[in-house]
Amino acid sequence: QLRQPAFPHITVMTTKFAAQRDQLEDLCKRRFFYRQAFEIYGGTAGFYTYGPPGCAVKNNLIALWRKHFVIEEGLMEVEDTNIMPHPVLKASGHVDRFSDFMVQDVKDKQKFYRADKLLEDHMEALMAAKETTPEQKEEYEKVKNSADAYSKADLHAALQKYGVKSPDTKNDLTEPYEFNLMFPTPIGPSGLVQGYLRPETAQGIFLNFPFCYEQNGSQVPFGVAQIGKAFRNEIAPR
pLDDT digits (tens, 9 = 90+) for 105-161: 999 988 999 999 999 999 999 999 999 999 999 999 999 999 999 999 999 999 999
Cβ atoms of 83 and 185 within 8 Å: the answer is: yes
Which pLDDT value is given to residue 5?
57
Strands 193-197 vs 48-50: parallel, antiparallel or unpaired: unpaired
- Higher-confidence position of 12 and 66: 66
Supply the angle between the helices 115-128 and 152-161 in degrees, to the nearest 10: 30
pLDDT at residue 33, as a whole number: 97
pLDDT number for residue 85 = 96
The share of the chain scoring above pLDDT 90, in percent, equals: 87
Give dist(CA 144, CA 160) in Å, integer: 15
* Per-residue model confidence as pLDDT tens digits over 186-235: 999 998 999 999 999 999 999 999 999 999 999 999 999 999 999 999 98
pLDDT for the residue 7: 59
Amino acid at 61: L
Q: What is the pLDDT of residue 236?
A: 80
pLDDT at 12: 73
Residue 76 to residues 66, 88, 222: CA-CA distances in angstroms? 10, 22, 8
